[in-house]
Amino acid sequence: MTGYQESITDQSYNGQILTFTYPLVGNYGVNRDDYESILPTCKGVVVYEYARRASNWRQQLSLDEFLKIKKIPGISGIDTRALTKIIRQHGTMRATIANANGSIERLQDQLQSIVLPTDNIKQVSTKQSYPAPGTGRNVILVDFGLKHSILRELAKRNCSVTVVPYNTSAEEILQLNPDGVMLSNGPGNPEDVPEALDMIRGVQGKIPIFGICMGHQLFSMANGAKTHKMKFGHRGFNHAVREIVTGRVDFTSQNHGYAVSRDGLPECLIVTHEEINDKSVEGVRHRDYPAFSVQFHPDAAPGPNDADYLFDEFMEMMDAHQAY
């Protein structure tokens, strides 16, 4: 089983309990190179069995040691495939990890009384701007809960990146004289950050934009689209997505509980990608401006790199805009 470290440290899982269906988790430990964030914000990890002895030359901690250091509760011995069937039937549910002595009725009352947060993005976004220097194109990366793999993909292409908080204004971004703006992934409901919509409207048409996951939803909403909560959401790294124009099919990594609604999609947005199984919107492009977004993670981590060519398309878009 691979990819558990990236999933646990992905801030898109802020406030959630992760259930892994693979029967053995933790077999290669945890290392510093595969973090998607330094401070993971998921609330728990559920596995059938965890590897008490990890074996990998890159390993620095066992999964058990890592969870204890990060103060993330973990539980093993759970029939996670049976649990997944329940989730598949009933959708995402409230849950808790508790010791065996707790009263079921009391725990149920506690769960029902929990008020789910509406500031997920505020919780995980950087509080101040910081640079990731490079020698190439100047990219502003708006942090809604970004995965470090996005930074790695930009670094591969020698971009000079400045990461800014989620509530940075369009004026502040334009003052940094960017060649392009990226809208990162992130947790929760896109309707919780209306200030981001004003920023996107103020930037598009002036600077090329590339949105991923939460960034895709916000970009679409800024242009008049609606979003809806999915009963099941898309989780994992085996989701087949078709590029509509070419028919190309990529297997993608996804992690989202909301989606852009196809009904009522504004004329200024063209659907570029769709999920093969449920036909949900997986990508859009602006009809008039150099701007596009995708619901899946072209950076993968974990998962296949089928769609990492989209970063190259963003580079070409920035170069063409500069030449224009």
Per domain, the residue ranges of the chain are 4-113, 120-323
Cis peptide before 23 (omega within 30 of 0): no
Q: Which of 148, 234, 239, 297 is catalytic?
A: 297
**255 labeled binding residue:** yes
Q: Does the active-site annotation cover 299? A: yes
Q: What is the model's pLDDT at position 103?
A: 85
Q: What is the pLDDT of residues 257-272, one digit of tens each?
A: 999 999 999 999 999 9
The two three-digit tokens of residue 103, written as one number: 């009263």
pLDDT score of 7 more than 80: yes
With beta carbons less than 8 A apart as the criterion, state whether 199 and 173 touch.
Answer: yes
pLDDT score of 217 more than 70: yes
Q: Which of 143, 179, 213, 273 is catalytic?
A: 213
Other C-beta atoms lying within 10 Å of the C-beta of residue 81: 12
Nearest to 19, CA basis, from 64, 98, 76: 76
Q: Which of 10, 34, 179, 299 is catalytic?
A: 299
**258 labeled binding residue:** yes
Mean pLDDT of 97-102: 82
What CA–CA distance (Å, rounded) separates 218 from 109? 35
In one letter, which amino acid is 221? M
Q: Does the active-site annotation cover 148? A: no
Q: Does the active-site annotation cover 268? A: no
pLDDT score of 118 more than 90: no
What CA–CA distance (Å, rounded) separates 210 from 204? 10
What CA–CA distance (Å, rounded) separates 179 from 210? 12
In CATH terms, 4-113 corresponds, of 3.90.1150.10, 3.40.50.1860, 3.50.30.20, 3.40.50.620, to 3.50.30.20
**180 labeled binding residue:** no
**138 labeled binding residue:** no
Q: Which fold has domain 120-323?
A: Rossmann fold (3.40.50)
Q: What is the model's pLDDT at position 1?
A: 66
